[in-house]
Amino acid sequence: MPIVSPASYLRVYEPLAAFSAAERSRWQRYAAAGPPSRRVGSRRERVVSLLAAVRPTLDVADESAFVQWIDGLMFICPWSTQLRVWQSALEFRAVLPDRVAEAFLPRRITDPAEVELDRWKSRRPALKVHVQSCTWMVPPSWFLLFDPAERSLVTGDTAERSMIYRTTMSLARRRAARAVETVETLRATSTDAPTVEGVGDLARWLGSFHPQSRVELDYDGLVDLLDDDMLRRDSSVEDIVEAVGALRRGRTDLAAEAYERVLVRWRPLQARESAS
């Protein structure tokens, strides 16, 4: 199996009603055929992403998805792997000097991807990416969407070992909106106030989905880098919630301390990325 960097994932599962009639039929057939489990599907999706990096065209008919059943209702999270790979490649090039970017992702690869991506956006303006990923860590802004009580932890010597947070879209949007309001208020009064990066982008992304969707944060491959005790003691969600609450009270000192605890917790894993 190809070697890929361990990553965390933020996924949105939309109800079947959010899709077109043709897509609903396809996803119903897909679910009836027995889709892979979350763990197996996640590993398979990472391998597919490597193949997508060199594929010049997109065929959404071949897409796979994660499927959840909640209270008898089907929720779908399409992988959209090809779209995500192309978007990541273009974003990666955009933040690097041309000479450096050309060494990693030459234009002979990214230019056709950009053309194909634009073509698909024009043909399907409602096409959405249901998955965000981050290698070697969990972005602090993702923790804002959840409550500590929404954690599901499986430890021990098992193939299902995992750390997952799940919530409703309404709760996730409410929490993101509260954080955005807090950040904007602070920016209006102080340029030195600590903030959580990416909150506005995250809120806008959530706003593009069906209001009855479900949101999932999956540590996925990161659990292989953390022992059971580290997973049990991980209080990143609590710390970020505390940071936002402190900001709302004007206690920027306490907010900075709570936010720093999250950064310190994830620095060892980020250091492995630099060393790899």
Q: What is the 3 state secondary structure string of 228-271?
A: HHHHHHCCHHHHHHHHHHHHHCCCHHHHHHHHHHHHHHHHHHHH
Structure token digits, residue 233: 């003691």
pLDDT score for 1: 37
pLDDT score for 50: 47
| In the block, residue with structure tokens 């022992």 | 227
pLDDT score for 252: 86
Q: In whole angstroms, how large is the CA radius of gyration of the chain? A: 19
The DSSP code for 60 is G
Angle formed at CA 163 by CA 130 and CA 226, multiple of 5 degrees: 120
pLDDT score for 170: 98
Contact (Cβ atoms closer than 8 angstroms) between residue 179 and residue 202 = no
Here the contacts of 174-177 (C-beta below 8 Å, separation 24 or greater) are 175/144, 175/145, 175/146, 176/144, 176/145, 176/202, 176/203, 176/206, 177/203
Q: Could you tell me the pTM of the whole model?
A: 0.82
3-state helix, strand, coil in the chain (%, to 5): 55, 15, 30
Letter string b/e over residues 79-93, b meaning 16 or more CB atoms within 10 A of that residue's CB: bbbbbbbbeebeeeb
Contact (Cβ atoms closer than 8 angstroms) between residue 36 and residue 44 = yes
pLDDT in single tens digits along all 276 residues of the chain: 344 678 899 999 999 999 999 999 999 999 998 877 777 766 666 555 544 554 545 454 467 899 999 999 999 999 877 776 766 666 666 666 777 667 666 777 667 766 776 776 666 666 788 999 888 999 999 999 999 999 999 999 888 899 999 999 999 999 999 999 987 877 766 666 556 678 899 999 999 999 999 999 999 999 999 999 999 999 999 999 999 999 888 888 898 899 999 999 999 887 776 555
Type of residue at 91: E
pLDDT score for 195: 63
List residues bridging with 69 in a β-sheet: 74
Structure token digits, residue 147: 């409550």
Structure token digits, residue 139: 């972005």
Structure token digits, residue 144: 């804002």
Q: 115: exposed, middle or buried (C-beta count within 10 Å: 0-12, 13-18, 19+)?
A: exposed
pLDDT score for 60: 47
